A and B are shown apart, each in its own frame.
Chain A
Amino acid sequence: MLDKILFLLCLASALADERCMPDTPHGFQVRLSIKTALGDEAYVWNENEMFLFRASLAFAMRNHMNGQQFEVSNIIVCNETMRVSFWFIVTSPLDTSQLIDQENVEAAIRQSRNRINSAFLLTDKTLEFVDILPTLATLYTHPTPPWLIVFGVVMGAVGAGIIIMLVSSVVQKKRKTNGKPQDKDDDEETRVKTVENGDAHDGVHNMSFSEDERFTKM
């Protein structure tokens, strides 16, 4: 009896292994680039990490297909390489001979992609599910474009500056025209003074008389 059970189990697992192979229509290839993502802090990929992967995939399947209790054993992995890449397929928890189709698996992974990535400290690029394109991050669109705000500030400052300059030159001119009548009086006074000084200067600098006197003396 025990022999028959053992034989059936082996057969079952052998059957499962056969279904998991490269380019399988029911599964996906996964590629991890741990060293690229983490550099010096990269962890070594071992059986425990693989266990975590299978567990997180089971979690993703549970999230997507409500009610079905996926277990780690439902995630079958094969063809592990040095690259750290492998293929996986997902079996149904109700009937291990049945495989979950690709669309459902893809949808599940898309839904929980972020959680799976963070479990491994990786990103969409470094934890690659081949043929599942990552959803593109939408750029944050500002309600008012920031350039318009800066433009408004600069233009406002320049406009204010121009107005100040024009007003100050108008004020200066007004002060000049108001001050001009007073200046005219000042000018007349100084002119009178220079005339007086001029006479004195002329008297001092007018050498012609003194020279003539010398000559006439001689």
Chain B
Amino acid sequence: IMKLRLSNPGLDDRILSHQQLDKLEEDEAGDRPKWDNKAQYMLSCVGFCVGLGNVWRFPYLCQSHGGGAFMIPFLILLVLEGIPLLHLEFAIGQRLRAGSMGVWSEIHPYLAGIRIASMCISLTVSLYYNTIIAWIMWYFFNSFQDPLPWSQCPMDASLTGFVSECERSSPVDYFWYRKTLNTPPTIEEDGGLQWWILLCHICAWSVLYICTIRGIETTGKAVYVTSTLPYVVLTIFLIRGLTLKGSLNGIKFLFTPDLTELAKPTTWLDAGAQVFYSFFGGLISFSSYNSVHNNCEQDAVIISIINGLTAVYAATVIYTIIGFRATERFDNCLSGNILALLNAFDMAEGSITDNHYNQVVQRLNETHPEVIQGIDLKTCDLTTFLSEGVEGTGLAFIVFTEAITKMPLSPLWSVLFFIMLFCLGLSSMFGSIEGILVSVQDLKVFPKTLPKEAITGVICALCCLVGLIFVLGSGNYWLSLFDTYGASIALLVVAFCEMISVVYIYGIDRFNNDIKFMIGHRPNFFWKASWRVISPLIVFLILVFYLVTKVSEKLLYKAWDPELEKFPTLEVKLYPHWIYVIIFILAGIPSLAIPFAAIWKCLQKKRRKNQI
């Protein structure tokens, strides 16, 4: 295969040579911070990769794309896309010893756009991700009471009945949409600042500040807790979940393979996107703090395996609890129907059992059809309850919280669950904030005399202020907008450009030599093939698919509107026209920054040449 390489003069002047790197290592000079030990580094990487998506996106994808069969595309793409991407990030960070943003200017000045795009994406993600952590904290604070506030409807003003909005939906829905978010019916109405969420928002940013106050010095200590605690809690929940009735129904439902799903391209693309989003991000900064001869190949494989296994483990745990909830709902539905029948026909208790229910209904329908019509018998189907497929905030704050209220000792389980979510979210935030911090330091925005604590403080305070948009009543709508458009397309573009830059602009030969220098042997055929062809191709395909689907579909959002007839089902509404501008800013500007920056730098160079 002809090796395509783009000319890159002056590369040697910009980066440190191998000898210089070794000398730097011996003298322990240089002002880059270092990890205290390997464990801190591994835990930080694991913490960054394992995030909320593993808990609330992967189980949903798994269940909706054919259960156990989804593992096949997921694992294949993990190996073909995830591990090479991770190894690439680790190697380039370790070699060039600059942050996620700085490496690109070193490789080629025209690639400054990647740095701008990365910074925009990190900033966008930091803004809205911490609001999710604020919501998690709100639920955590509210878990210290028995009974839990989302287990019952509150009374209305006249104390004669329950609040109507709550009666028509459910206590968990009411607590989430009204008591927590206080959502208005549309995105145009802002609903004002919700003071209770504002307090949690400030608390979330304060906790983040204290953990990142001195960069990796402090985050390195924090990850001992935030990266390990989720596993402990998941195990506790697994043990608790398996002892509940109906948990095995959930696991069976999750893992029953439906191989016909493998023929659909959306399954493969969703698997690819899931692998991509969990592996990609600010890991270049993390590995740049390592020693030069750290074995990044081994690290990449280990972390990928851990990430994949965690996703499967979390899915199992979540589905034991969902199985329990679905079985509980099914049993209640059936008992309700049986009671209605007993009351209507004055039969003795216990004369209709769950097993004979269907036969009895049939028999009674033949003999007394009018009576059966009079009673409103609900259809009870376990599969329907199990496939009330929820992902994202719906899973954590509605479905799971409901399941917890049905377990004995609910406050304990609630506290554990929200601590776990908090740790998962916080460890992912460390990576984003680290990315912004390093970029700000590299760009020399602040004077050098300003201590690190102050810089971190300023960044956290600014993000906290801008993040106030998510504390408004309509914050939930804004958050899903940012989540759908801010982090998705631009990230794919950046990843694709990064891979092309390293392989073709930096040069695959030079990269292979670097790896030989760092870990002692050249990368084998698998790595070379995946970096040069397979992984960029997969990312490109996912990007094209995303663009095609997003551009062709109408821009809709789901709103909570008590006035509407179909309440409590979420109403699908069209975004107003001015949202298109915001979507363009979120997704378009980072993506377009890359080519525009390249062109601008080129023009700058030409102008300088002309001047000389």
Contact = CB atoms under 8 A, between A and B. Distances in A.
A147 B144 contact: yes
B207 interface: yes
B349 A166 contact: no
A148 B145 CA distance: 12
Contacts of A173: 451
A34 B203 contact: no
B348 A165 contact: no
Contacts of A31: 343
A85 B346 contact: yes
B350 A35 contact: yes
Contact of B152 (A139, A158, A162): A139
A159 interface: yes
Contacts of A162: 206, 209-210, 213
A138 B159 CA distance: 8
Contacts of A34: 349
Interface residues on B, range: 35 or more
A71 B348 CA distance: 30
A83 B349 contact: yes
Contact of A165 (B144, B152, B214): B214
A150 interface: yes
A36 B332 CA distance: 12
Contacts of A158: 203, 206-207, 210
A54 B348 CA distance: 21
Contacts of A136: 155, 159-162
Contact of B141 (A33, A81, A150, A166): A150
A139 B150 CA distance: 12
B154 interface: yes
A162 B214 CA distance: 11
Interface in B199-223: 199-200, 202-203, 206-207, 209-210, 213-214, 218
Contacts of B347: 82-83
Contacts of B351: 82
B451 A169 contact: yes
Contacts of B199: 151, 155
Nearest to B199: A151
A151 B145 contact: no
A166 B349 CA distance: 69
Contacts of B213: 162, 165-166
Nearest to B213: A165
Interface in A98-144: 136, 138-139, 142
The 5 closest A-B pairs by CB, nearest first: A147-B141, A81-B346, A82-B348, A35-B349, A83-B346
Interface of A: 31, 33-36, 81-85, 136, 138-139, 142, 146-151, 154-155, 158-159, 161-162, 165-166, 169, 173
Interface of B: 137-138, 140-142, 144-145, 152, 154-155, 159-162, 196, 199-200, 202-203, 206-207, 209-210, 213-214, 218, 339, 342-343, 346-351, 451, 453
Given A147-B138, A150-B144, A154-B137, 13 more contacts: A35-B349, A83-B349, A84-B349, A136-B161, A146-B144, A147-B145, A149-B144, A151-B141, A151-B199, A155-B203, A155-B206, A161-B210, A173-B451
9 contacts: A33-B339, A36-B339, A83-B348, A139-B154, A149-B144, A150-B140, A155-B203, A158-B210, A173-B451
